[in-house]
Chain A
């Protein structure tokens, strides 16, 4: 199942080599024993993924701590 992280559709960042805006798409993220499928802005062409700052230092950090905390 895919998680909606509550990010708005990306209107700012484009993939430079492919010259297209990143669109929310399913992305797999792993850490230790956990593997999650979430929606993140992704280049439809080459697959480059953007992890926005508020996710990185917010929910992602929370889950990292959860997985580390056994």
Chain B
């Protein structure tokens, strides 16, 4: 990602855009922060906030005409925040001493004409920038019509205090009326001249109708003018110097001063000034949960707010933010930022907060589910950002191996001879269709793969083949383009060899991969097919009418169906046909949440996945209905009773009737525990063997596997550490065959180490009557460099 792309992407996140009040203020006073500070009774800070943006804060805070209030989002929720009144309250609080750092003196001299507010502001701004300023006025004193304001609003003492800053900064004042000739002299003598049109005597000096927009430049070079109010009028028509709102006067004076500076520096007058003055903000704030509240009125309008009243009014402020995505996604919350910052961090590849969150972990923890993009008013592409970053890391060999190793190993297993298979239907010579169940369904419920396949043979087409493989999703999510390419090519080859059938996909993640990488293959969702050809309303359909199918369930859409509403509809249609009462979660359909498996979140950051799941399962008391095997395992693993749609269509059976299941049906599929990593591998291997043997009548010799006796506690440890039963068998076999093992002198147990590839597995075990008892197992990636003998240097 280059700088340009970064800026484009950053721009899409509007969190840092100004709130409506600030953008509507011509001087961009940070009213949101100001009101918050009033609420917290941090009056000194509130003063500082005003001073940051307001020239002559003592004056302007009192007389401000608060255009911000018209834009306040509270307007439709009770009434805008009385920002003006809060400003007037603030100026009655003790004013902190604010140090200003004087700018180095500049060699240009500026002339300002007029004694009213816009001229004073122009002079102040130029003085603060270090210019020598001479102000020309016919009056005896500065301030003009400001002195006409009642003392209750703007006390003389305050005027003197504020105007004093001009003298402190070295303002020169000349008592002189400027006529046309004098103006010509000024333009010769000074680098630039400002005409304050709010001082009516200057009006005749202006030839044109209006100063230039944004720059306030007049036609004559070096001449600028401000302090006018001319909606629909022009300077020549007169009367536009009266009733100019104070904020307009101040804004124009400031803007003209900037133009004058740029003029003397001979740089562009317009560059970068698009957001000067009032503009509509891009910030979006969700007002759904805000209840209307009327504004607090001061008990004594003459005296203004008391401290309590001010605080109460300030508490009404919504504190406009966007953060729509952060509100909804535990991942975005977890890393304590929001997308614009994340984009910058990814670009800089730096740590986000001072702490132990590394950018690597942040990049690898996103589920890539796209919910934030869906919610964001500007569709911020967080998933694209993270995926691109992962690809960069892999390409530059900076991807930490432990992030995705297990998932990639699992994919390699699914694409090995242990699982991979493609066949035409038994006794058929071609495949018009092919069923692609995906590796996770096969690992989670191999029986249902067989039942679904037989269902398709019976209802879709006799020429439906079967393909067992991994769809490349793990490699894609890991940002590993070479491995993705390999897996995709494998599918393509097998598909060609099968005669290019239409693929029926059970898994929506597989669907995403096919659409992305194999657009030449026509694909159908299993759910759409089943909805179309399944005869669910037949009374002898197994599962129909069972008592447990009448309990309401909340349906969870896999995140990869976010933009596939037809698949979501098909699943619901099937459920309806089976008379399953389905409730919708709030975040469902287009707004569905990820189960934590997506993007390999579970692999790279199990703690993050736990948080993600906690949020999801907390959203309803009901059991969840899913139609993706990964969602099934993840959500069930988080402790929520979860039933897969196939559990209703093909209720699981025992081989022999039992007291609890006289009709063979295992009661309560929603209670079936999470399958587990080792079992998933075994299921896949067994599935291939079963299919070959029973459908295609080809037996493969089955290796007799050592029996392992593992307690549930130890098994839980293995799951957490991602140690498979096959890893344990391999380690024991390695140790036993070589005799290289350790023994405990306390209890006679054996301890063996085995490093088949990049991980060393340790297993503590003891022999049983059949097989072994497994007492403990752990692993590490660091490699021990063994040396023989004693005391030698390695």
Residues of A at under 8 Å CB distance from B?
Answer: 11-17, 21-22, 25-31, 37, 40, 44-51, 53, 56-57, 60-61, 63-65, 68-70
Contacts and interface: CB of A to CB of B under 8 A. Distances in A.
B548 to A, nearest CB: 41
B98 interface: no
A28 B358 CA distance: 28
Contacts, number: 93
Interface residues of B, number: 35
Contact of A68 (B402, B746, B751, B789): B402
A23 to B, nearest CB: 10
B784 interface: yes
Nearest to B777: A53
B753 A69 contact: no
Contacts of A27: 784-786
Given A16-B740, A53-B762, 10 more contacts: A14-B742, A16-B739, A16-B742, A28-B794, A29-B783, A48-B740, A51-B762, A60-B780, A60-B782, A69-B360
Contacts of B783: 29-31
A49 B360 CA distance: 33
A54 to B, nearest CB: 9
A28 B785 contact: yes
A40 B358 CA distance: 31
Nearest to A31: B782
15 contacts: A12-B744, A13-B751, A14-B744, A16-B742, A16-B743, A21-B745, A28-B784, A28-B785, A29-B783, A29-B784, A29-B785, A31-B782, A48-B786, A49-B786, A56-B778
Nearest to B743: A16
A30 B782 contact: yes
Contact of A49 (B401, B741, B746, B784): B784
Given A28-B794, A53-B762, A60-B782, A13 B742 contact: yes
Central interface residue in B743, B781, B790, by most chain A CB within 10 Å:
B781
B728 to A, nearest CB: 15
Interface string B620-654: 00000000000000000000000000000000000
Contact of B751 (A50, A57, A61, A69): A50
A28 to B, nearest CB: 4
B540 to A, nearest CB: 54
B782 A70 contact: no
B779 interface: yes
B400 interface: yes
B107 interface: no
B273 interface: no
A12 to B, nearest CB: 5
Interface of B: 358, 360, 398, 400-402, 721, 739-746, 750-751, 753, 760, 762, 776, 778-790, 794
Contact of B778 (A11, A25, A57, A68): A57
A29 B785 CA distance: 6
Nearest to A25: B790
Nearest to B790: A44
A56 B762 contact: yes
B762 A12 contact: no
In the A-B complex, the 6 residue pairs with the closest CB atoms? A68-B400, A28-B785, A56-B780, A31-B782, A13-B742, A28-B794
B786 A69 contact: no
A20 B496 CA distance: 61
B412 to A, nearest CB: 21
Contact of A69 (B358, B742, B782): B358
Contacts of A63: 782
Nearest to B398: A70
Contacts of B786: 27, 47-49
B32 to A, nearest CB: 37
Given A56-B780, A69-B360, A14 B785 contact: no
Contacts of A68: 360, 400-402
Contacts of A70: 360, 398
Contacts of A25: 790
A64 B741 CA distance: 25
Contacts of A15: 742
A24 B776 CA distance: 22
Central interface residue in B741, B742, B743, B779, by most chain A CB within 10 Å:
B742
B446 to A, nearest CB: 33
Contacts of A26: 794
A21 B794 CA distance: 21
A25 B787 CA distance: 11
Contacts of A14: 742-745
A3 to B, nearest CB: 13
A53 B742 contact: no
Given A53-B762, A68-B402, A69-B358, A29 B782 contact: yes
